[in-house]
């Protein structure tokens, strides 16, 4: 699976708070300037003007735009095309035709409705789509539900299913997947657990909504020194073996070697 061009911590920033843009980008690996849910509809025209007037590193900026078929979508695209930013996150992606107006842009398809999750493989197969992301709260709302999580903070089964479906769809077409935000800002232990799981199963990044979550995500995606040392030793031992072999009490075959290669790759990519 291909990597994202950024590190694993992607920080949302409301588009109507331009004084926060640079600070968010400084703290995170990339900033997602949000023209959709984070901005009151009445404030969106001013938010677009703020986006146009901003001067950030285009390589590390993602702009979340409103869903296709809305007037806000048209206005958002006009604003984006007046900037040097060329990566957009399309909110509530539901059909391939939603990408019709996005030529020349790198697109992250946000699968956060029932239709979006079902069609995730189609999105991943589409040229110009560089990644998939899923969203829990809008998904449950689209189903007529009221909560994506149990009282203890763990995801309900429908959210677990959607998360897995989007990850598998992305992987099937060699595209990276982004895990959704942990909305309980104070629950850093819960965030750490989810980000560690995301890294372990193959997500390329986790989105977040507060600067205090960034370091937790980075740590979760960064292999430990012990994990890296074991992976390097395993790969070195594999060079002297043919076929399946035993290493420090465990059976090693092709998939295990690929796991080790991923650990080493991540350690090098993330310092």
232 is in an annotated binding site: no
Q: Is residue 229 part of a domain?
A: yes
Specify whether the CB–CB gap between 115 and 98 falls below 8 A.
no
DSSP state of 238: H
Is residue 155 domain-shared with residue 97, that is, in the same domain? yes
Q: Is residue 159 part of a domain?
A: yes
Reading the block at residue 146, the tokens are 């009221």
CATH of the domain at 211: 3.20.20.60
Q: Is residue 4 part of a domain?
A: no
Is residue 214 domain-shared with residue 232, that is, in the same domain? no
User: What distance, in Å, lies between the first and last C-alpha atoms of the chain?
Assistant: 20
Question: Per residue in 98-140, pLDDT tens?
Answer: 999 999 999 999 999 999 999 999 999 999 999 999 999 999 9
Q: How many domains are contained in the chain?
A: 2
Specify whether the CB–CB gap between 93 and 118 falls below 8 A.
no
44 is in an annotated binding site: no
Identify the domain containing residue 64 by its residue range: 9-221
Is residue 166 domain-shared with residue 256, that is, in the same domain? no
Is residue 258 domain-shared with residue 213, that is, in the same domain? no
Specify whether the CB–CB gap between 252 and 246 falls below 8 A.
yes
The H or E element that residue 165 is part of is helix 157-172
Is residue 152 domain-shared with residue 105, that is, in the same domain? yes
64 is in an annotated binding site: yes
Query: What percent of the chain has a predicted confidence (pLDDT) above 90?
Result: 80
Question: Per residue in 175-229, pLDDT tens?
Answer: 999 999 999 999 999 999 999 999 999 999 999 999 999 999 999 998 777 777 7
Is residue 46 domain-shared with residue 115, that is, in the same domain? yes
């Amino acid at each position: 699976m291909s990597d994202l061009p950024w590190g694993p911590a992607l920080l949302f920033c409301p588009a109507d708070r331009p004084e926060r843009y640079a600070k968010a980008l400084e703290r995170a690996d990339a900033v997602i300037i949000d023209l959709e849910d984070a901005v009151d509809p009445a404030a969106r025209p001013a938010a677009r003007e703020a986006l146009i007037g901003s001067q950030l590193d285009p390589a590390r900026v993602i702009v979340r735009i409103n869903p296709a078929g809305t007037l806000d979508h048209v206005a958002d695209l006009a604003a984006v095309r007046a900037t040097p930013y060329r990566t957009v996150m399309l909110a509530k992606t539901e059909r391939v035709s939603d990408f019709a107006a996005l030529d020349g842009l790198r697109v992250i398809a946000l699968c956060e409705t029932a239709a979006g999750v079902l069609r995730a493989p189609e999105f991943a197969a589409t040229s110009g789509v560089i990644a998939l992301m899923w969203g829990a709260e809008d998904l449950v709302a689209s189903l007529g539900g009221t909560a994506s999580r149990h009282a203890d903070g763990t995801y309900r089964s429908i959210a677990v299913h959607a998360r897995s479906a989007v990850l598998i769809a992305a992987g099937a077409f060699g595209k990276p997947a982004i895990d959704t935000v942990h909305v309980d800002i104070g629950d850093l232990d819960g965030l750490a657990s989810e980000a560690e799981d995301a890294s372990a199963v193959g997500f390329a990044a986790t989105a977040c909504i507060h600067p205090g979550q960034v370091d937790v995500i980075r740590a979760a995606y960064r292999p430990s020194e012990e994990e890296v040392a074991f992976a390097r030793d395993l790969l070195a031992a594999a060079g002297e073996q043919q076929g399946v072999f035993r290493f420090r009490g465990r059976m090693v075959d092709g998939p295990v070697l690929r796991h080790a290669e991923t650990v080493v790759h991540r350690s090098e990519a993330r310092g």
